[in-house]
């Protein structure tokens, strides 16, 4: 069968183009998977550190809420009855004054605990910033790759920083 033409295994396309494309896609996929793995490790480390930092302020917040809920009825009723006896005010006015003071004290405790918890949880911002940087890098590589495929000459996207 010498008279038959030999068919290329690549259907006429140059071998370097498909190999280069496969290699580029493989390298990019490897880089993306490596970034995803590192991002997961950073998030795990940040969550662990956040848990350590937020434990005590979280307890303060929970204690403030629990104290406010548990002591409000008894303490407020006792203070209101004391105001009725000492200031000789009406029971309604005494209970209203007592409820207002108790609400302010509870709000102050909760605010202190909340701001301390928020301050300690801010460490998770590091993971978020790194994720944003990684996504920008992926977009930049994909954009340069798209431009490179159009021009079919520039492979500088491989060394994006």
User: What's the mean pLDDT in 145-157?
Assistant: 62
Q: Give me the DSSP letters along 68-90.
A: HHHHHHHHHHHHHHHHHHHH---
Residues of the chain with pLDDT > 70, as a percent, come to: 76
Please, what is the average pLDDT of the chain?
A: 78
Flag whether pLDDT at 6 surpasses 60: no
Is 25 exposed, middle or buried (CB count within 10 Å of its CB: 0-12, 13-18, 19+)? exposed
User: What's the mean pLDDT in 27-32?
Assistant: 80
Flag whether pLDDT at 90 surpasses 90: yes
pLDDT given at position 119: 81
Lowest mean pLDDT among 23-32, 86-95, 106-115: 23-32
Distance CA 145, CA 51 (A): 41
Distance CA 102, CA 94 (A): 12
Distance CA 125, CA 134 (A): 14
């Amino acid at each position: 069968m010498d008279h038959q033409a030999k068919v290329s295994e690549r259907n006429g396309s140059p071998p370097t183009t498909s190999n280069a494309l496969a290699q580029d896609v493989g390298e990019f996929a490897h880089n993306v998977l490596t970034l995803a793995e590192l991002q997961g490790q950073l998030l795990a480390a940040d969550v662990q550190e956040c848990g350590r930092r937020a434990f005590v302020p979280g307890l303060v917040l929970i204690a403030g809420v629990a104290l406010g809920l548990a002591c409000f009825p008894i303490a407020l009723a006792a203070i209101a009855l004391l105001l009725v006896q000492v200031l000789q005010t009406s029971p309604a006015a005494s209970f209203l004054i007592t409820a207002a003071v108790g609400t302010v004290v509870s709000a102050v405790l909760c605010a202190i605990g909340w701001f301390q918890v928020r301050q300690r949880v801010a460490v998770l911002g590091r993971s978020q910033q790194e994720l944003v940087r990684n996504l920008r890098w992926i977009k930049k590589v994909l954009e340069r790759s798209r431009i490179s495929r159009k021009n079919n000459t520039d492979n500088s996207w491989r060394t994006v920083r």
